[in-house]
Amino acid sequence: MPGMMMQSQLTLTEVMRHAQANFADSEIVSITADNPQHRYTYSEAFERSAQLAHALQKLGAAPGDRIGTLAWNDYRHFELYYATSCSGLVCHTINPRLFPEQITYIVEHAEDRWLFIDPMFVPLLEALADRLGTVRGYVILTDSDHMPDTSLPDVHCYEELLALQPTRFDWPQLDESTAAALCYTSGTTGNPKGVLYSHRAMLLHTYGVLLPDVFALQSHDAVLPVVPMFHVNAWAIPYAVPVVGAKLVLPGPRMGCGETLTRLMQREKVTIAAGVPTVWLALLKYLRENDDTIASLDRVVVGGSACPWSIMEEFEQRHGVYTHHAWGMTEMSPLGTFNPRVAGSVPAGEARSLRLKQGRAAFGVEMRIVDEQGQSLPRDGVAYGALQVRGPWVCERYYRADESALTADGWFDTGDVATIDARGYLGITDRTKDVIKSGGEWISSIELENFAMTLDGVSEAAVIGIAHEKWAERPLLLVVPKPGADLDTGAILAAFGGQVAKWWIPDDCILVGELPHTATGKISKRDLREQLADYRWPAEADV
Ligand code: AMP
């Protein structure tokens, strides 16, 4: 028997409507290149989203078109999120840190129609434009005073496009299964893969993010996403914050700068901030060296890579800030688990080991660990296996892929290896996917190995991630020389220059007599990681 409740669709348009109706005066504060201290209200933001939706229609954008963005966290990017998704277009956020070849691949694969780009990415796009066949034109995210000279074809100025457009838009009644956003991940082997989020998934995920034992946002919070808006929709913060009417603080291009973050947080009285460990190291270093603190800051959320205890300890002891450890992935919108505040009554040692875990599944996410035969393993905190998930905000199929991304029995294999204890706490112990995460961004071991194998005198090559104080992980290259070859490790590393992004180049190279192999003849990364457990970087690498 069907239920008898309204069939309202779960769409992001409802977030916008709700925020406009209830929190018109709440603020969005941003740093941008052309306007270092921009401040306006939700009401103005959504009026401008309406203007942008009109402008997109005039540009000929049709429902389902992918609109690409190469932009930092600021108010114009926020307007794009809503103008595109709520008018039936797909907001395709692109990571500008990727190597040009990858950006070209992603834009072509997504068949983006228009690219909205920050002025600093104009030279990057000028070099690629000839190859971007599906792109009809470019919109530079700035005003007419700051428009750069450019050879880009069909180029528009964002503020000129918006000017004179009506501030109301007749938002379409979208079905909740309509695609809202697209984000490519390099966190698996092969070419980057697109995860196509639906409105329904985004909205349910937003509820998950807001739960009391998750981000627990409230209207009096001031929220700073230091995670980029091109990385899984900045962990859904631009959707969650307007639901509760909190202040949204957007750091613009200098989000890795401790001083910028400190000033912004102090000025805007930020209460909660979220980002990968590397940004917190930069912030803590700045605060330590300048004997400063951020009085308003109550808690930070750390995810994307394992959070070291030193970060939690320094935040708490020097600044009275609680650190929540979280785990997720692009394919999960990204929320998977969240480590709630541990009660004060829990003994210190126990609290520490609990907090170093990645936390408990948010309601909406189901998790299991399995052995190599796909059999479920016990949730005893000891047994470890491949971590699989399912739920309404988990990817079922990659964009334009013929095959499902799920196991035969309907689970998504995360490529992570983990334990789960009896209370549901997840502990990530390893990774089966052959990738390295440096400062929150992926590096493909396989691509580095493939290039190393093209060098004279190299018989076999392997790249593994080694823990790094600043970047969480950095790539280490191991090379087996051909018999009689006289290889120079410095020359091997130098050969990577111009072949891969600079920050992908391994920080060290070791010549070895042989590499460990599995029974099927593949290099055993697990054994290699074990063999190199005591390896230490020659000097603090900086990229
Ligand atoms: P991404 O899709 O780029 O967000 O990366 C997701 C992957 O990052 C996960 O599958 C993990 O391998 C890794 N990851 C994310 N959060 C954590 C964490 N808290 N601890 C350890 N690894 C993490």
Q: Which of 79, 159, 176, 331 is catalytic?
A: 331
Give the full edge-to-edge strand order of the sheet including 412-420: 366-370, 385-390, 412-420, 426-431
pLDDT value at residue 543: 47
Tell me the pLDDT tens digit for each residue of 279-304.
999 999 999 999 999 999 999 999 99
Whether cis (ω within 30° of 0) applies to the bond prior to 225 is no
pLDDT value at residue 540: 55
Give the position, in ligand 1's atom list, of the atom nearest the Cα of 415: 10
Query: Phi and psi (nearest 5°) for 369?
Result: -115, 140
Give the position, in ligand 1's atom list, of the atom nearest the Cα of 431: 12
pLDDT value at residue 541: 47
CA distance 109 to 99: 15
- For 340-360, give the DSSP string: PPPPTTS-HHHHHHHHHS-BE
Asked if the model's pLDDT at residue 179 lies above 90, the reply is yes
Average confidence (pLDDT) over 313-322: 98
Ligand 1 centroid, distance to 514 Cα (angstroms): 30
The angle subtended at Cα 491 by Cα 487 and Cα 495, nearest 5°, is 120
Give the position, in ligand 1's atom list, of the atom nearest the Cα of 331: 2
Q: Indicate which residue's Cα is closest to atom 23 of ligand 1.
A: 305
Q: Which residues contact 378 (CB under 8 A, 6 or more apart)?
A: none
CA distance 32 to 15: 25
Q: Which residues contact 247 (CB under 8 A, 6 or more apart)?
A: 26, 27, 28, 29, 221, 222, 223, 241, 268
Residue 186, both tokens: 């390099």
Average confidence (pLDDT) over 293-317: 96
CA distance 492 to 482: 14
Give the position, in ligand 1's atom list, of the atom nearest the Cα of 306: 20
Nearest CA to 507 among 534, 538, 530? 538
Tell me the pLDDT tens digit for each residue of 256-285.
899 999 999 999 999 999 999 999 999 999
Q: Are strands 472-481 and 508-511 parallel, antiparallel or unpaired?
A: parallel
CA distance 293 to 297: 9
Asked if the model's pLDDT at residue 166 lies above 90, the reply is yes
Please, where are the H alpha helices in 212-276? 232-235, 237-244, 258-268
Task: Write down how long the chain is.
Answer: 543
Q: Indicate which residue's Cα is closest to atom 9 of ligand 1.
A: 329
437 annotated active-site = yes
Best probe residue, ligand 1, of 327, 384, 387, 430 (max atoms within 8 Å of C-beta): 327
Nearest CA to 528 among 538, 540, 514? 514
Tell me the pLDDT tens digit for each residue of 490-521.
999 999 999 999 999 999 999 999 999 877 77
CA distance 313 to 320: 10
Nearest CA to 273 among 323, 206, 219, 338? 323
Show the ligand 1 pocket: residues with CB < 6 angstroms. 185, 187, 232, 303-306, 325-327, 329-330, 334, 358, 414-416, 428, 431, 437
Average confidence (pLDDT) over 218-227: 98
104 annotated active-site = no
> What is the value of pTM for the model shown?
0.92
pLDDT value at residue 430: 86
Q: Which CATH class is domain 8-25+42-198?
A: alpha beta
CA atoms within 13 A on the CB side of 506: 30
In the chain, the percentage of residues whose pLDDT exceeds 90 is: 88
Average pLDDT, the chain: 95
Best probe residue, ligand 1, of 311, 324, 425, 437 (max atoms within 8 Å of C-beta): 437
Q: Which CATH class is domain 434-531?
A: alpha beta
Q: Indicate which residue's Cα is closest to atom 12 of ligand 1.
A: 416
- DSSP one-letter code for 333: S
For residue 41, with 0-12 CB atoms within 10 Å meaning exposed, 13-18 middle and 19 or more buried, which class applies? middle
442 annotated active-site = yes
Average confidence (pLDDT) over 189-205: 94
CA distance 446 to 461: 10
525 annotated active-site = no
For residue 237, with 0-12 CB atoms within 10 Å meaning exposed, 13-18 middle and 19 or more buried, which class applies? buried
* pLDDT higher at 534 or 114: 114
Nearest CA to 82 among 255, 242, 252, 275? 242
Asked if the model's pLDDT at residue 163 lies above 60, the reply is yes
Domain limits, the chain = 8-25+42-198, 434-531
pLDDT value at residue 190: 78
CA atoms within 13 A on the CB side of 256: 6
CA distance 347 to 324: 18
pLDDT range class, residue 107, cuts 50, 70, 90: very high
In the chain, the percentage of residues whose pLDDT exceeds 70 is: 99
* pLDDT higher at 534 or 243: 243
Q: Which of 72, 327, 442, 471 is catalytic?
A: 442
pLDDT value at residue 95: 95
pLDDT value at residue 537: 92
Q: Indicate which residue's Cα is closest to atom 4 of ligand 1.
A: 329
Asked if the model's pLDDT at residue 433 lies above 90, the reply is no
Query: Phi and psi (nearest 5°) for 440?
Result: 90, 0
Residue 326, both tokens: 């979280």
Best probe residue, ligand 1, of 426, 428, 468 (max atoms within 8 Å of C-beta): 428
Give the position, in ligand 1's atom list, of the atom nearest the Cα of 414: 10
pLDDT value at residue 200: 98
CA distance 412 to 396: 7
Ligand 1 centroid, distance to 10 Cα (angstroms): 27
pLDDT range class, residue 254, cuts 50, 70, 90: confident
Asked if the model's pLDDT at residue 455 lies above 80, the reply is yes
